[in-house]
Amino acid sequence: MTPPDLVVCLGCRTWSQDRIDLTSLHLQGDALVCTCGQRYPLVDGVPLVVADPTALTEAPSSSPTLDEHVSIYMDNHWGDRAIPPTPLGLAGLLARLPTTRVSLAVDLGCSAGRVASVLAASADRVVAVDLQLATLRHARRLLAGEPTEYGRRETGAHYQPVTVPPQGAPNVTVVCADALDPPLVPRWFDRVVALNLLDSVANPHQLLAVLDGLCAPGGEVIVACPYQWQDDIIHPDHWFGPDPAAELRERITTSLSRPYTIEDEADVDWTLRRDARHRVTYRTHYLRARQGT
């Protein structure tokens, strides 16, 4: 069940100079429902809190591109716990996540849910947000304490069936939503995380504003990015550079609505397995910063 006090109706939000009005959603049958009448359907237990849910419900559930995507990111997140196993591509990033206890955390661009499961060990509640429903359905099952199966790409169109045992984290809520417009209460989250997402959204500057907007006073934002800009995703005018790490550092410390102080920073390997003979390792820039009160 999705905690209604954390997830709000997109259609009912109103913003003014000194006030934000929000309406929480409540579970009704197979949907999250707002008092305004807006319904956000659940698919395999995942609520679709987006402006047009039908665009997701009517999308094909399988295609060569989608099957490859699921294989890559399920291996990246859960490969070490799958049967049969493969090396964990997220190990370096997971090792840097803080373990100090917080009340609320959010993982934007959560993909298959491994980061959210790690955050859950040091947070009372976690919201995991992504727009890719195919991987979210696996994440929801695993974090709810259910096993899941996916196809691991071996070569070409050949896939091997792989099972991941239950990875229960009942304090995680999985939501299909846009990280650039998340249906969440602003300034509530003590730990706001977006790993390897900044170069995968249409506007990385907007994503930083979202991170800042969700962060509670005194909270922290955690960002990682390999800066693999693609002009079919992000217009070159929005790319960071010529030194993208320096620009991210400057934007977080001086250009957001409130000041932040960097507490941890490193370059970390991040490996994606594409098939049995093809792995790509990126050097991703990791940064953790705390907001002043």
pLDDT of residue 19: 74
Mean of the pLDDT values across residues 134-159? 97
Portion of the chain with pLDDT greater than 90, in percent: 87
Query: pLDDT band at residue 1, thresholds of 50, 70 and 90?
Result: very low
Token digits for 186?
């602003």
pLDDT of residue 17: 67
Query: pLDDT band at residue 99, thresholds of 50, 70 and 90?
Result: very high
Distance CA 289, CA 252 (A): 8
Residue type, 101: R
Buried b (16+ CB within 10 A) or exposed e, 64-86: eebbbbbbbbbbbbbbeebeeeb
Distance CA 91, CA 27 (A): 36
Mean of the pLDDT values across residues 225-252? 96
Q: Phi-psi region for residue 148, left (φ > 0), alpha (ψ -120 to 50) or beta? A: beta
Query: pLDDT band at residue 160, thresholds of 50, 70 and 90?
Result: very high
pLDDT of residue 58: 82
Query: pLDDT band at residue 197, thresholds of 50, 70 and 90?
Result: very high
Q: Domain boundaries in the chain?
A: 47-291
Query: pLDDT band at residue 2, thresholds of 50, 70 and 90?
Result: very low
Distance CA 150, CA 62 (A): 12
| Cβ proximity of 291 and 217 under 8 Å | yes
pLDDT of residue 60: 82
Q: In 3-state terms, what secondary structure has residue 140?
A: helix
Q: Where are the alpha helices (DSSP H) in 150-222?
A: 204-214
| Cβ proximity of 203 and 187 under 8 Å | no
pLDDT of residue 4: 46
Q: How far is CA 238 from the centre of its chain?
A: 21
pLDDT of residue 96: 97
Portion of the chain with pLDDT greater than 70, in percent: 98
How do the residues of the chain divide into helix, strand and coil, expressed in percent and rounded to 5?
A: 25, 35, 35
Mean of the pLDDT values across residues 154-158? 95
What pTM was estimated for this model as a whole? Answer: 0.95
| Cβ proximity of 93 and 288 under 8 Å | no
Q: State the CATH architecture for 47-291.
A: 3-Layer(aba) Sandwich (3.40)
pLDDT of residue 293: 62
Q: How far is CA 105 from the centre of its chain?
A: 11
**pLDDT per position as a tens digit, 54-91:** 888 888 878 999 999 999 999 999 999 999 999 999 99
In DSSP notation, 212-241 reads HHHEEEEEEEEEEE-----TTTS-GGG---
